[in-house]
Chain A
Amino acid sequence: MILFPEWFFTVLVYGGITLAAVSGVLLLVLLIRDVGGKTLW
């Protein structure tokens, strides 16, 4: 049986958590930009 290597598992999980955290910040930045530019709605 060929197994996924541990490094792949590590990259997958840490990458996922990092991307999720960055995404939250990105949404806030977009919100500030749209509110400032009066382009929210």
Chain B
Amino acid sequence: MPEDSTVLSVSTGYLLLALFGVMWIALGIFWGRRAKSLDGFMVAGRNVGLALGTATAVATWITSNTTMLAPQFALQLGIWGILAYSTASFGLFLFAPLAKRIRQAMPHGYTSVEFIRLRYGQAAYAVFLVISLFYGLTWMVSMGMAGGILLEALAGIPYAFGMSAILLVCVVYTLFGGLYAVIGTDFIQSLIILVGIVIVAVAILTRAPLTEVYANLQANRPALLNVLFPAAIMAVFNNLLFGIGEIFHSNVWWSRAFAMREGVGMKAYLMAGLIWLPIPVVAGFLGLAAPTIGINITRPDTVGPLVAANILGSAGGVLVFIVVFCSLASSIDSLLAATSDVVTKEIIQPFFLPNAGDPQIRRVASLVIVTVGLITWGVCLPKVGTLATVLFFAGPLVGSTIWPIIAGLFWKRANGTGAVLAMILGSAIGLIAYFQIGWYTASLIGTAVSFLTVVVTTLVRPGAFDWRTLAVEKAVVQA
């Protein structure tokens, strides 16, 4: 991309990349001093307080997709697009009681996959593991690609270099500090994102008052203000369920539930939902303001950052660059740590190192972080597919896990056969809907099928699960 079409000079872009990269790595090493033991590295000592617990949930859920896709949603689906994206906060709200239950039921737990294995058995473990790893890699790839695309759009940094640099920084500080580093940096990153997005929004209001934005939309794009926009209304329910599915099943959120001190998880997730809620609203506003400001939109997935940079000039470019870097890092680091935990504890330890002690597993976890980072880098490099396609392909898969998890945590009669069928049927039929009807129906249909399957199989063949099974210490799968 030629430099004159960007909002930052290449040298400024490289400078910011280097500054923030060094800062996150330094902080990772600083906090990493605490991460000597396996519990310290994987679940931050299981004693995280409310401030850090809340901020880490917020920062992790503010992904680059929030800053890039929310404006795109608004531009394509209007006000319903903004509302649809903000419903992803319901995942945090609804996970709050689950976090409390998870912490109480599994005081020695490490991963969501471990829960499925103990609760439903080996078949469910295998299906859930595939979904978890597919989703984790998809999420990381979408953010690695987003990072490369954004750095190129904002500063003209070549895609391959920008994407590689962001992944490298995250791998290095997660490697040194484990979940301690992830949670510590998340606090700073969430504050930077909140401050940055408020500054950008206020600046836009000075250039494009709301009355003008509304009048422009009314005159030129009334569909974006349409109360009855069928595809957009479907997107609300789809996004809501996609968000819930993402949070309920992913070890990113379970590892935080394990890491928070007893009694903190529920409050932290409720507050995180409230704090996250306005982010896509404000980011979506950037998309709706774009036509009023007169920006020529050639790439909808970069409309938000380009609007901000257009309004604030170089300072806006710097601000957006920092906010996006924080959004990316706060999520990529979490995924690296959470995915590494799953691979280490649920694949490598039981099948290859059944007699290994905690120090050895701690070292293996570090190697896995590097490997996961390399795999993500390899998939990101060819830059295949649009962001939305990559992201929403996982929707029906994670949607199909919602009910097996809820029932597994609260309904002792739910059984393993039902959980397996629910995940397979929900994923398969949801994917058919994705291709035959549209992406905005996939999670909705996948979740509905999963729900019916769990309820019917439980009523037909009720089980009698002993909750004490979940509390067992150092439980590993039998290879």
Contact residues of A with B, CB < 8 Å?
A: 1-4, 6, 8-10, 12-21, 23-24, 26-28, 30-31, 33-34, 39-41
Contacts and interface: CB of A to CB of B under 8 A. Distances in A.
B282 A40 contact: no
Contact of A41 (B52, B194, B211, B227): B52
A41 B282 contact: no
B51 A9 contact: no
Nearest to A1: B226
A19 B278 contact: yes
B194 A20 contact: yes
Contact of B51 (A3, A6, A24, A33): A33
Contact of B282 (A8, A16, A26): A16
Interface residues of B, number: 45
Contacts of B297: none
Contacts of A2: 226-228
Contacts of B187: 27, 31
Please list the 9 inter-chain residue pairs (A to B) with the smallest Cβ-Cβ separation, ordered nearest first: A16-B281, A30-B51, A23-B275, A16-B278, A19-B278, A24-B194, A3-B225, A39-B49, A34-B51
Contact of A13 (B54, B277, B285): B285
Nearest to B54: A30
A31 to B, nearest CB: 4
B210 to A, nearest CB: 5
Contacts of B55: 27, 30
Contacts of B218: 3
B195 interface: yes
Contacts of A17: 198, 201-202, 278, 282
B225 A4 contact: yes
26 contacts: A1-B228, A2-B227, A2-B228, A3-B225, A3-B226, A4-B226, A4-B227, A6-B214, A8-B79, A9-B214, A13-B210, A13-B282, A17-B202, A20-B201, A23-B194, A23-B275, A24-B194, A26-B271, A26-B275, A27-B187, A30-B54, A33-B50, A34-B50, A34-B52, A39-B261, A41-B44
Contacts of B54: 27, 30
Is chain A's interface secondary structure helix, strand, loop, or mixed overall?
helix
Interface string B444-460: 00000000000000000
Contacts of A9: 79, 210, 213-214, 225
Name, among A14, A20, A31, the residue most crowded by chain B CB atoms within 10 Å (CB to CB).
A20
Contact of A20 (B45, B211, B261, B279): B279
A5 B82 CA distance: 15
B34 interface: yes
Interface string B251-270: 00000000001000000000
A8 B51 CA distance: 32
B397 interface: no
B389 to A, nearest CB: 27
B279 to A, nearest CB: 7
Contacts of B180: 41
Given A6-B211, A15-B278, A27 B191 contact: yes
B371 interface: no
A19 B277 contact: yes
